[in-house]
Structures are given as C-alpha cells and as structure tokens.
C-alpha cells in the first residue's frame, strides 16, 4: 500500500500555526494582492507573493516563513 500524504508531517509550522496561533488564507481577492497569508487576531502576520508556480511552492514558502516566525516569537 503506498504511503499516504501527511500534511502535518510535511508542514509542521503551518500545522502549529492553525492549531495555536491563527489561520491561513489561500487565494487572491480584490482586497489582497498576495496569494497566501497567515493571520492572527491582531491581523496579517505574513503574506506571500502575488503568485507561485504551484500551490506546493506557496505552501513551502509559508512553511519556511512560519518556521522562522516561530523561532523568533517562541
């Protein structure tokens, strides 16, 4: 049986973010120029670029940014 994809193992910083700190948004709107964002009750914490080659690239960028945020903010 092939191994199933596990989001929590692949993206631990994003998983920690949505369980403990805030939420994420994916997709563009008229109000937001970024494609992917991390938000908490205080507002926008991180926003990515306006476009990525794939959703995988967008999630990897967010994972890296939230990992750094977690290291800097405990």
- 22-56 pLDDT per residue, tens: 999 999 888 778 999 999 999 999 999 999 999 99
Handedness of CA 44, 45, 49, 51 (dihedral sign): negative
29: CB partners within 8 A, 6+ apart: none
Asked if residue 2 belongs to a domain, the reply is no
What's the domain range around 38? 7-73
Q: Is the pTM of this model over 0.75?
A: yes
Asked if residue 59 belongs to a domain, the reply is yes
- Mean residue pLDDT of the chain comes to 93
| Structural contact between residues 48 and 74, judged by C-beta atoms closer than 8 angstroms | no
Number of domains into which the chain is organized: 1
- Residue 32 CA to residue 47 CA, distance in Å, equals 9
Asked if residue 63 belongs to a domain, the reply is yes
Q: At which residue do the structure tokens 């109000």 appear?
A: 31
Asked if residue 1 belongs to a domain, the reply is no
Asked if residue 49 belongs to a domain, the reply is yes
């Amino acid at each position: 049986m092939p191994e199933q994809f596990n989001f929590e193992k692949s993206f631990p910083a994003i998983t920690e973010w949505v369980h403990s700190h805030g939420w994420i948004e994916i997709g563009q709107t008229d109000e937001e120029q970024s494609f992917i964002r991390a938000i908490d009750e205080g507002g926008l914490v991180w926003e990515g670029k306006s476009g990525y080659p794939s959703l995988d690239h967008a999630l990897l960028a967010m994972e890296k940014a939230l990992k750094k945020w977690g290291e800097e903010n405990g």
